[in-house]
Structure 1
Amino acid sequence: MLSRAAFIALLTFVIGISVAYANNLAQQEQSDEFHIYLVRHAEKNADKDDPNLTECGQKRAQHIAQLLNEQAIRNIFSTPYNRTQQTAAPLAAELELDVTVYSPLELELFADKLLTIKGNTLVVGHSNTTPVLAGLLVDDDLQPFAETIYDRLYKVDVKKGKASLQILQQGFSCDQ
């Protein structure tokens, strides 16, 4: 049986360790660093309302999967359209992840959700939503881009609650 002094010393030690552990967890949460990658769907056929990807678009979707395969992607989101789902599919298959559908009509709510899930994420959208969503994530007013642009890759780096944006090229051309 412990003496009163030994018991108080042990209790003080346990409380000190618990506080240090809690502080360490809080610091880890604050220093969480993750990346959100945003792309427009790949090249699409122009023959119907909800078109599929062209052959070039399928190759671009494969290229996107190769680019992001080593980025520890934990979440993949896409709008509910064939072209976006098909763009997300190769990476989802490689990583054995489900593609979660989001509404392109609720970008502000979706931006908030992306920042709270704290994990490397791919979001596949459209020429009129992808830059707007990237802007919402970094508190900037980005405008839609031309329908002819397919090679942009937005990378939002989030570190300690601060988000910064890089606009990259995918380095892919159908002429390759």
Structure 2
Amino acid sequence: MTTETRCPWCGTDPLYVAYHDHEWGVPETDDRELFEKLVLDGFQAGLSWITILRKRDNFRAAFDNFAPELIAAYSPQKIESLMQDSGIVRNRAKIEGTVKSARAWLDLRESGQSFSDFLWQFTDGRTLQNSLKSMTDAQAATPESTAMSKALKQRGFTFCGPTITYAFMQAVGMVNDHLVTCYRHSDCAALGRR
């Protein structure tokens, strides 16, 4: 039996390995899925991604499967109930920020632009292909993530600084940051060329 060579950041935790193997770096264009991933990356700020990954199903249940139309209408009472939900990260600023970001998502849609088109414009609608040989070659932010962060903030989105948006871009396949030694690098490169 052979074992695949993976990026070392996912370790051996089965949940993390599955995320690495099936989600991270796969190009995503669904507006709601992109909203979910951006919000969760914002919740990750100051925490490890595995913490968020372990709570992702709870987040989905608590935040109405990340439907921006529902989240945008959250009342102060709903926010208080979320603050009591031990299944999610109970950070008031991040919860209130999610409501603001949902309203910004709706405003963007009402302007006639999809969230996907808005985000993918920062990579000219394609996956940026990197050839990282080690984790030390990875960047925390790029000119593209900085531009995306600025544009999102101007639109009213929250918890979307350049480091968060770069992690988001890696996760949703806007950039291929699998190490060249990782078996997923070529797979995600091929997906990014479609």
TM-score normalised to the size of structure 1?
0.28
Greater C-alpha Rg: 1
Write 1 or 2 for the structure with the bigger share of strand.
1
Write 1 or 2 for the structure with the bigger share of helix.
2
TM-score normalised to the size of structure 2?
0.26
